[in-house]
Amino acid sequence: MFTINQIKETHSKVKSGADFPQYIQNLIDLGLIGYDHYVCDGHSKYYGKDNFQIQSEVKYALLEIAPTGNIEALKDALKIHQAGGTDYLTFCSQSAEAGVEKWTLDMKKMTCVYYDKNGFEMLTEVVPTV
C-alpha cells in the first residue's frame, strides 16, 4: 500500500492546478482509489483497495469556511487555478471563501466533487486524463 510520504513526494511536484491531471495519475499509480480533502486545514483522508485508509496531518492554519456555498465564486477560482494562475494555498483560501468544506476525488469515476458545509454538491468536475 501507499504511504503519506509517497503522497507528499507526489504532491511536491504540483505547482498549480495545471499539474492536477498528472498528480492524479501519479496517485493512481501508487494505488489510491480516492481521497477527501478538507479545506479548513488542508488535511486529507486517502483510500486504497481492501478498505485501506490513511490520513495526512494538518497543512496550514485554520481557514473559516463561508456558511453558504457560492458556486460561481468556486467556478471562477477553479478556472484561474486550473490555468496555473494560483497556487494550492490561494486556491484553498478561495474555496473556503466560496463555502467549500471539502472536495472528494474518485479515481474510478475520475471525478472531483466539491461540497459545502451542509454536504450539498456544489460542483462535479471530470478530471482530465494525462
| All structural domains of the chain | 4-126 (3.30.1810.10)
Decide if 64 contacts 96 (C-beta within 8 A): yes
Decide if 100 contacts 69 (C-beta within 8 A): yes
- Counting every residue, how long is the chain? 130
pLDDT value of position 11: 86
pLDDT value of position 20: 81
Rounded distance between C-alpha atoms, residue 21 and residue 117, angstroms: 26
Q: What is the pLDDT of residues 79-101, one digit of tens each?
A: 998 888 888 899 999 999 999 99
pTM of the model: 0.90
Return the ∠ at Cα 128 (arms to 123 and 130), rounded to 5°: 160
AA identity, residue 94? Q
Q: What is the pLDDT of residues 28-75, one digit of tens each?
A: 999 999 999 999 999 999 999 999 999 999 999 999 999 999 999 999
